[in-house]
Amino acid sequence: MRPFLRTFIWAAVLGLVGAGIALPPHRAGAQAQQVAVLTSFPKELFDAYKAAFEQANPGWRMIVVPKPTSAAITHVRERAGRPDVDIFWASAVDAFLYLKGNNFLERYTPPAELRRGVPDKVAGFPINDPEGFFFGFAVSGYGIMWNTQYVARHKLPEPRQWEDLIKPVYFGHLIISAPSRSGTTHLTVETILQGYGWQKGWELLIQMGGNMGAITERSFGVPEAVIAGHYGIGVVIDFFALSAIASGQPVGFVYPSLTSIVPANVGIIRGGPSTEGGRRFVNFLLSDAGQKLLFKPEIGRLPVRESLYAQAPPGMPNPFKMKAGVQFNANLSAGRYQVTNRMYDQVITFRHAELRRAWEAIYRAERAVAAAKQAGRDASEAERLLTQARHAARYLLVSEKTAAEISGAMDRDAAYRSAKEREWDQVSRSTYSRAFQLATQAEEALRRR
């Protein structure tokens, strides 16, 4: 009976192989070695690197696990002690500080020839972790992109600064992604908070949120919508705009004066399935071949190897000749990561409809006040109500000091986090409703005179 079963099983196996059905590698004999890469980067980028890495490393496969940065952090944290990925690859430097601080990253020193030619800093910011837990492979800045045809059709001025995006003329024409779902948007939000200060920065972000036509779940949804002409202006990391421009799309882009220039990074996960695969991948990213790949039109990123800019495509900026308006403090950002992302969601993302309604009413009342004053009518009561409406529509829930104090607790304690989110949600609903009522009353006050 046993010989018969053995014969039957082998016949079944050979039948499956002959039919072209792949067996799991550990059962199919010799297998290709593989490196599992957890990344927030878009498909155009990781597909190009997968093909190039596998060509440069015969016998190796690159397995891609795509997730937004915050979800990728959760993935690593939930698999602590039994990681299933070898590499964490993303733009958000504060995410790497979090992983390093929680002992999720492996220390590594790339070969000297790969480190040669990479400056210590870009625009005053360290390119690599000084202790060797993660490495910059590209440089990124944050700014504003627009569809030139859309802007011309709607007779919109081309924006230059973050403050421009709170102007009434842009109401409904803007788009951004949620920082809780996008590490690059989180860095943009933090850049604004650090550049303007916590209070003024949040007031700016909230009013910008009121002007947004949409808030996407993923960062690449913003450039897609702008290129397609669904919205005119988007808040993006630079490579989305640079790759679109290089591909001939009708796109303009600007770095506001208050922006930061920081590295996009890669790190090896401690105890991952293949430490060798992780090291091979880091080495490839830092090699000339890996660095030059960044210049491809569909990628449009800025290498960390300074000498390569002599070979850069026309129009590609050189970050080593740029001055950052904001010296980004990654430790500050990492220390309030939870508060910043979750408050943005409760105040802007989840309450977007109410926030838009409030600012639409405010802008309408402002136009009515301006017309009344031009006609020589008394608008003092309406102006008083409008001042109160703007204050309610930009109400800041948490001070900078409180944010630093509660962020750790929000990270550790799910019940505390949920309670805070409910509190912020209720306050936002109330203040935006009041802002709408006050703006409506301002218009009514003008009609009574």
Rounded to the nearest 5°, which phi and psi values hold at 232?
-90, -35
Residue recorded with tokens 């024409």: 173
**Are 399 and 198 contacting, i.e. CB atoms less than 8 angstroms apart?**
yes
DSSP 274: -
Distances (CA, A) of 131 to 135, 198, 207: 10, 30, 40
Rg of the chain, C-alpha, whole Å: 26
In this structure, what is the dihedral angle of CA atoms 184, 215, 221, 96, given to the nearest 10 degrees?
20
DSSP 8-state class, residue 169: G
* pLDDT at residue 58, as a whole number: 96
* β-bridge partners, 34: 61
Task: Give me the pLDDT at residue 312, please.
Answer: 92
Q: Report the percentage of the chain scoring pLDDT > 70.
A: 93
Find out whether 138 and 264 touch, Cβ atoms under 8 Å. yes
For residue 412, the model assigns a pLDDT of 85
Record the pTM: 0.84
**95 and 73 Cβ atoms separated by less than 8 Å:** yes
Mean pLDDT of 305-319: 91
Beta carbons of 132 and 96 less than 8 angstroms apart: no
Residue 18 has pLDDT above 60, yes or no: no
Q: Which two tokens stand for residue 240?
A: 């989305």
Q: How far apart are CA 443 and CA 427, in angstroms?
A: 25
Give pLDDT, residue 10. Answer: 36
Is residue 31 very low, low, confident or very high in pLDDT (cuts 50, 70, 90)?
Answer: low
Query: What distance in Å separates the CA atoms of residue 304 and residue 298, rounded to the nearest whole number?
Result: 18
Of the candidates 305, 318, 332, the one whose C-alpha atom is nearest the C-alpha of residue 128 is: 305
pLDDT at position 447: 86
Structure tokens at 5: 């079963």
Looking at residue 406, its pLDDT comes to 93
Residues 6 or more apart whose Cβ sits within 8 Å of residue 310: none
**How many separate helices (H) and strands (E) can be counted in the chain?**
18, 13
Tell whether the model's pLDDT for residue 136 goes beyond 80: yes
Q: Which residues pair with 233 in a beta bridge?
A: 146, 174
Per-residue confidence band for 177, with pLDDT thresholds at 50, 70 and 90: very high
Structure tokens at 31: 């297998």
Mean pLDDT of the chain: 90
**Which backbone phi and psi does 353 adopt, to 5 degrees?**
-60, -45
Question: What confidence category does residue 367 fall into, taking pLDDT thresholds of 50, 70 and 90?
Answer: very high
Strand partners, 105: 269
pLDDT digit string, tens, across residues 145-172:
999 999 999 999 999 999 999 999 999 9
Highest mean pLDDT range out of 237-246, 327-336, 408-417, 432-441?
A: 432-441
Predicted pLDDT at 232: 98
Q: Which domains does the chain have, with CATH numbers?
A: 29-139+262-321 (3.40.190.10), 336-448 (no CATH)
In this prediction, residue 289 has a pLDDT band, given cuts at 50, 70 and 90, of very high
Confidence band, pLDDT 50/70/90 cuts, at residue 131: very high
Q: DSSP string of 31-82?
A: --EEEEEEE-S-HHHHHHHHHHHHHHSTTEEEEEEE--HHHHHHHHHHTTTS
